[in-house]
Amino acid sequence: MYLQLKKLKAVRSQSCVTILLNTHRTSPDNEKDPIALKNLVKEAEERLLETEDKRQARNLIERLNNLASGINHTYNLESLALFVNEDVAEFIRLPISVRDRVIIDETFATRDLIRAIHLETNYYILVLSRQKARLIEAFNDKVVREISENFPMENDQETTDREDLSISSKITRRQAEFFNQVDKEVHRIWKEDPLPVMIGTDQANYPEYLKVADNKKIYLDYNLNSIRENESAQAIVANAWNILEDKVRKRNQARLAELKQAVSQNKFLSDVNEIWRSIKEGRVQTLFVQKGLFQPAVIEDGFVRFVGKEELHRKEVIDDIYDELIEENLEFGGDVVFLPEGVLDTFNGFGAVTRY
């Protein structure tokens, strides 16, 4: 999801059509979704016919209608995002709320979506037993999807034969082989979309699984041994979030302590232009951003200048300079921490910790 949005963010062309709309997970509410989408597609058609060359407009309208007609609304999450230009025709189901709208520009409208995903916790849950493995993608306390490609995995080497059961080493070897197969499949999916993986298994299985894991860094360092393999995906995610939410809160507290220490060591920056220059020099380790902070700006002669509503129509205006700084810093190997509103008021909601 995040990687797909990031790829779309880099696309530039004469006419990029983005449609965003809130949707519903369950019936009968999701029966309204095709109608809401149809209305937004109609709005996009009218705007394209008004502003584009007629041939170009008809081509984009056809691509947009073909994309919309192929969406199965049974699988909707909290929202839908459609992206269409001459070369792209994609849609993404998102676990976040959006403002219903049509955007036609030289780029796709992905910044708000990427920011919203940065703000939340997106992760996998590996539900593991000696007989079976399931993999679920979650977003905070909601299910995004249960992975169906090669999952659930069944341990076809598990035996009930008494002679085999009497040989403990054979059981151990067979179990290790199954765990190794699971790990390789998890790692393959992780490489496509690298989200942290929580393990939910019996306490005895947890260290045995990590022994055979090729890349232990992708797994969070605790086991949710209260999860059961046959529970519904939503029940599993709700159980996991009860624990993870507290972990996230404690992690943010620890990161805030880093910020305070950096201030005392004179390794903290709060001026946006100083931060911009330091990012370009590769000196910034972590950006701290208060949730809800947005600011349009332009970059002129290497300097950041905030702009007001009267300049928003200019092509060179960056919708959100903080998002631009975040992306630049990630490219240089830095990271970002989003903190609740009010926590960074002393620093006007934004700051950076430098490497040196």
* pLDDT tens column, 300-344: 988 999 998 788 777 688 878 888 898 888 888 888 888 878 888
Neighbouring CB atoms inside 10 A of 183's CB total 24
Read off the pLDDT band of 100 (50, 70, 90): very high
Residue 162 has pLDDT above 60, yes or no: no
Residues 75 and 17 in one domain: yes
Residues 63 and 151 in one domain: no
Residue 159 has pLDDT above 70, yes or no: no
CA separation, residue 321 to residues 2, 56, 272, 288, 294 (Å): 19, 32, 9, 14, 7
- The predicted model gives 210-231 an average pLDDT of 89
Cα–Cα distance, 47 to 44 (Å, whole number): 5
Reported as half-sphere exposure (CB side, CA atoms, 13 A), residue 216 has a value of 9
Return the higher-pLDDT residue of 42 and 294. Answer: 42
Read off the pLDDT band of 171 (50, 70, 90): low
Q: Which residues contact 176 (CB under 8 A, 6 or more apart)?
A: 208, 211, 212
Read off the pLDDT band of 71 (50, 70, 90): very high
CA separation, residue 245 to residues 120, 237, 240, 241, 295 (Å): 10, 11, 8, 5, 29
Whether 26 and 42 have beta carbons less than 8 Å apart is answered as: no
Domain range for 153? 122-249
CATH number at residue 278: 3.30.1330.30
Residues 98 and 155 in one domain: no
CATH number at residue 9: 3.30.960.10
Per-residue confidence (pLDDT) for residue 165, from 0 to 100: 47
**Which of 78, 112, 146 is the last residue before a domain boundary?**
112
Residues 84 and 154 in one domain: no
Whether 324 and 298 have beta carbons less than 8 Å apart is answered as: no
Q: What total number of domains does the chain contain?
A: 3
Residues 194 and 292 in one domain: no
Cα–Cα distance, 65 to 84 (Å, whole number): 10
Residues 130 and 237 in one domain: yes
In percent, the amount of the chain with pLDDT more than 70 equals 95
- The predicted model gives 120-141 an average pLDDT of 93
- The predicted model gives 67-81 an average pLDDT of 95
Read off the pLDDT band of 233 (50, 70, 90): very high
- The predicted model gives 165-184 an average pLDDT of 77
Whether 137 and 117 have beta carbons less than 8 Å apart is answered as: no
Whether 59 and 20 have beta carbons less than 8 Å apart is answered as: no
Lowest mean pLDDT among 13-17, 166-170, 351-355: 166-170
- The predicted model gives 35-58 an average pLDDT of 94
Task: Identify the bridge partners of residue 231 per DSSP, sorted by sequence position.
Answer: none
**Which of 219, 249, 279 is the last residue before a domain boundary?**
249
| Cβ-based burial of 236 (10 A; exposed 0-12, middle 13-18, buried ≥19) | buried
**Inside any domain, residue 261:** no
* pLDDT tens column, 147-157: 999 999 999 87
Residues 244 and 316 in one domain: no
DSSP assignment, residue 319? Answer: S
Is the link from the previous residue into 340 a cis peptide, with omega within 30 of 0? no
**Which of 90, 112, 134 is the last residue before a domain boundary?**
112
Two tokens, residue 218: 């992708």
Per-residue confidence (pLDDT) for residue 18, from 0 to 100: 95
Residues 21 and 135 in one domain: no
Lowest mean pLDDT among 26-35, 45-54, 104-113, 134-143: 104-113
Residues 278 and 343 in one domain: yes
**Inside any domain, residue 54:** yes
Residues 131 and 244 in one domain: yes
Per-residue confidence (pLDDT) for residue 163, from 0 to 100: 47
CA dihedral of residues 62, 54, 92, 329 (deg, nearest 10)? 150
Residues 132 and 229 in one domain: yes
Cα–Cα distance, 30 to 74 (Å, whole number): 7
- The predicted model gives 233-253 an average pLDDT of 88
